[in-house]
Amino acid sequence: MQSFRSEIENPIVQKDIIELADKIQQFHEGKIDEEKFRSLRLARGVYGQRQFGVQMIRIKLPYGKVTSDQLLRICDVSEEYSRGRLHITTRQDIQIHYVSLDRTPELWAELEKSDVTIREACGNAVRNVTASPDAGINPEEPFDVSPYAHAVFQFFLRNPICQELGRKFKVSFSSADDDSALSYMHDIGFIAKIKVVEGKPVLGFKVMLAGGLGSQPRLADVAHEFLEADKIIPYMESILRIFDRYGERSKRAKARLKFLVKDLGLEAFNELVANEQKALAYQTFPISTEGFDNEPDLSAIVAPEVTIEDTEAYEAWKTNNVFAQKQEGLYAIGIKINIGDFYLPEARALAALIRDYAADELRFTLRQNILVRHVREDLLPFFYTQLKALGFTDLGYESVVDITACPGTDTCNLGIASSTGAAQEMGRVLREEYPEFANDSDLVIKISGCMNACGQHNLCNIGFQGMSVKAGQYVAPALQVLLGGGTLGNGEARIADKVIKVPSKRGPEALRLILNDYIENSGGVDFIEYYESKGGQKYFYDFLKPLSSTDDLVESDFIDWGNEEKYEKAVGVGECAGVVIDLVATLLYDSKEKLDSAKVALSEGKLNDAIYFAYSSMVHTAKALLTSEGTKTNTHNKIITDFNDIFVKAGKIELGTDFEDFVYQINKNEQSEEFANAYIADADKFYNLVDAYRAAELA
C-alpha cells in the first residue's frame, strides 16, 4: 500500500519518504548495491537487526520530549508494524524491532502525522540531540536549554553538510553544572552558563569538544569556557565542515571526531574551524525561545478524589521518585523503566494521564526512564494510584538499582554477550539483597553488550562489558568489570579502569563482592573517592581474581543470561554508522544526484545548501576516478590533494586551474547568489569532464 505518497502534507518529508520507497524497490531489483543501500536506509533510521530479514527502527526524539499525541502515534505504529514493545535508548530515542523493510516508508509516513521523524536517527550524520531531562524545571539551572537543543536539531536535520560524514556525530545540552547530559563524552557538549557583560546577563555555554566512548574512550577538551548562545550553531557548522573534509572514512575505528582532534591537536583544529567562518551563511544565529513555556496554566484540572491505602509506600515513592520543580507548586515524577522496555497498554494509559492531568509532556531520560513534568502538588496522590496500577511506582528512579543496559545480543549485530539478561539478574540482586541502595543516586551501574559502549559502561562507577572467554575447546559468555568512572560535574569526568574479566554467570557475584567491600570499607565517601583510596585496579583485581578462573566452569556457565541454548559467539556486520565502500558507478551516480540537488536548492534560494551540494558533488566525482585507480580515499582532504596530483597536474583532466583552488573556493568566498551560480557551474563542468574521461577509459 503506497497511500503515503499523497497523504504527507510537508513536501520535503514527502520527497524523503518516497525516495526511501523508490530506493527499496531499486534495491530489490538489483539496481543499487547492498552497501550503498545500507548507507541510505541508515540515514533514514532503518537499522538491520541480528535476526535475518527484519529491521530495527529508531525514532528520533530531540532531547527526549514527547507529547501525548506523539506517544499515542508511536504506540499505533508499533502495534501495526512491530511487536508492541517500546525501547528507550541512552540517547532519549525510542526503538521498535522486527519491522519489515518494505513497510518502513508507510511507518515513517504515519509517524510524521504527529511531527515525529526517523530521519538521521542512525547513520553517518548528526544523531539525536540529547539534553538534561529536567531542562526547564531544574531549580539549579541558569536557563532552559530545550530551545537551544531544538534549534540545533532543526538546523542540521537534512543539512547537506552532515549527511555523509565519516562517522556519527553526537551532541548534548546539560542544563546545569551537574552535567546530567554528559557533555564530556560527546563530539560537542554544551553546558548552560550566564556571563555578566557590561552589567547585563548574557546567555551562553561552556563547550566541550571531541569526547567519545567505544574501545578507546576519550574525555572531551574544553573548546570554550563561554560561547554566546547565538554563536553555537555557526560554531558547530564550522566543526562539521572540517570533520567532513578531514575526518577518516576508510578505517572505521579511527573515523570519529575524537581521533581527528587528537591527530591534529586542539590548536590546529581550532584554527581550521576559525578559517571556515567566512564561508558560513550565518556568523551569528539567534535562537528563539518562543513555544517553550514552562509556566503552564493547569488551573482547569480538577483533582480526582483518591484513597491512599498504603501511606508508607506513598511517602517512600514521593521521597524517591518525585521532585520539586523550579516552578512553585509543580512537581516532576520519575518513572523507573526496567532496562528501558515498556509496552503499549501502559504507554497509552500514560499518554492519557499527561494529556488530562499534567502539561501534556514527558521526557525520556538518558538512563532509559521517563520523567513526567508539570504536575500540581494536589494531583500527586491521584498520579500515584494511576501509576501504581500501571506498575510504574517502583522505587529507585535513576538510582543504583536502576541499571542502564543496551539491547546487546537480543537484537544488535555487534552484541557479544547478553547485557539485558545480566542487567535483569543484577537488578534482582540489588532489589532483594541491597534495598538500602534504592534511593542512592550517587552510585551508577551500566552494562554494554560489546566494546562500542552504547550502555556507556566505561563512564560509570561500576561497569560491565560483554565479552567471551575460552575454556578449553569451548567459549563462554563473559563480562569485563570496569570500576572507578563517573561524572564529576561541569564537563569533568573519570574513565573507568578495566579490572578483570569474569564468566557472565559470575557477574552478580562480582557485583556482590564490590558492593560488600564498598559498604564495609568506604567510610561513607562516594564510590570514585573510595575506589581511588584503595589504590585502583590492583586492590579490586585481587579479590575478584578467584571469579575469573575457567578451570571450574559448569554447564550453565556456557549458557548466557536469558538464553536456553549453549552460547556461541556470533558477531555480525555492525551498522552503527559503519563506513560504506562505494563502487565507481555508484559514486558518479551520487555525484550527479548531488549536482541536481544543488540546482534545486539554488532555485529555492537555499544558498548554503546549494553550495555544499556542489562541493559534495565535486568530491564524489573525484573519489570515483581515484577509486578506479585503486587510490585510498580515506578523507575529503586527501581525495582533493591526490586528485590534483594524479589527474590534474598529470594533464589527464584539463581544468585550467589547480584542483585544490577549484574546490576550496567554498571556504574562501562569502555566500552570495553570484558565487553559488558560479560554483555549481564549476561542479557541473567538472562532472562532465570526469564522466567523459571515464567513458573513454571504459571504451
Kindly report the length of the chain.
Answer: 699
Which of 52, 59, 64 has the alpha carbon at shortest distance from 77?
59
Q: How many CB atoms lie within 10 A of CB 49?
A: 19
In the chain, the amino acid numbered 191 is: I
Sheet holding 341-343, edge to edge: 46-48, 55-59, 94-99, 85-88, 341-343
Residue 669 phi/psi, 5-degree rounding, is -125, 140
Q: Which residue has the cell 526512564?
A: 369
Query: Which helix or strand (DSSP H or E) is residue 99 part of?
Result: strand 94-99
What is the average pLDDT across 453-462? 92
CA distance 639 to 245: 9
As a whole number of angstroms, the distance between CA 360 and CA 367 comes to 21
Mention every residue, 6+ apart, whose C-beta is less than 8 A from residue 82. Answer: 57, 96, 97, 98, 99
User: Which of 63, 69, 79 shows the shortest CA–CA distance to 146?
Assistant: 63
- 572 CB neighbour count, 10 Å cutoff: 13
Q: Are 544 and 402 in contact (CB under 8 A)?
A: no
Distance CA 370, CA 86 (A): 12
Contact 108, 17 (CB under 8 A): yes
Q: Let me know: does 589 contact 595? Beta carbons within 8 Å.
A: no
Q: What is the pLDDT of residues 386-411, one digit of tens each?
A: 999 999 999 989 988 889 999 888 88
Whether residue 2 is predicted with pLDDT greater than 70 in this model: the reply is no
Distance, CA of 211 to CA of 192 (rounded, Å): 18
DSSP state of 648: I
pLDDT grade for 53, boundaries at 50, 70 and 90: confident
- Burial class of residue 207 (count of CB atoms within 10 Å of its CB; 0-12, 13-18, 19+): buried
Q: Per-residue pLDDT for 102 more than 50?
A: yes
Cα–Cα distance, 163 to 156 (Å, whole number): 9
End-to-end CA distance of the chain: 43
User: How far apart (Å, rounded) are the C-alpha atoms in residues 583 and 561?
Assistant: 42
pLDDT tens by residue, 506-539: 999 999 999 999 999 999 899 999 999 999 999 9
Look-up of cell digits 529507585: 396
Q: Name the pLDDT band for 585 (thresholds 50, 70, 90).
A: confident
Q: Which domains does the chain have, with CATH numbers?
A: 4-112 (3.90.480.20), 130-279 (3.30.413.10), 311-389 (3.90.480.10), 404-558 (3.30.413.10), 584-698 (1.20.120.330)
Residues 6+ apart with CB under 8 A from 213: 185, 452, 453, 456, 458, 459
Please tell me the least confidently modeled range out of 59-63, 228-232, 585-589.
585-589
The closest alpha carbon to 69, from 296, 292, 350, belongs to 350
Lowest mean pLDDT among 44-58, 166-180, 455-469, 574-588: 574-588
Question: What value, to the nearest 5°, has the Cα angle with vertex 471 and ends 470 and 477?
Answer: 60
Q: Give the separation between CA 148 and CA 232, rounded to whole angstroms.
A: 9
Question: Can you tell me the distance from the alpha carbon of 585 to that of 523, in angstroms, rounded to the nearest whole number?
Answer: 66
Residues of the chain above pLDDT 90, percent: 77
Q: Of the given ranges (325-339, 453-467, 578-592), which has the lowest mean pLDDT?
A: 578-592
Other C-beta atoms within 10 Å of 265: how many?
A: 10
- 76 vs 401 pLDDT, higher one: 76
pLDDT of residue 575: 53
Instruction: Give me the sign of the Cα torsion angle 252, 253, 255, 257.
Output: positive
pLDDT at 193 over 80: yes
Q: Would you place residue 307 in the very low, low, confident or very high pLDDT band (cuts 50, 70, 90)? A: very high
Cell 543470561, residue? 561
pTM of the predicted protein model: 0.91
Report CA 169 to chain centroid distance, whole Å: 8
Q: Which is more confidently placed, 412 or 136?
A: 136
Q: How far apart are CA 508 and CA 434, in angstroms?
A: 12
Let me know: does 162 contact 126? Beta carbons within 8 Å: yes
3-state helix, strand, coil in the chain (%, to 5): 45, 15, 35
Q: C-alpha 53: how far from its chain's center?
A: 24
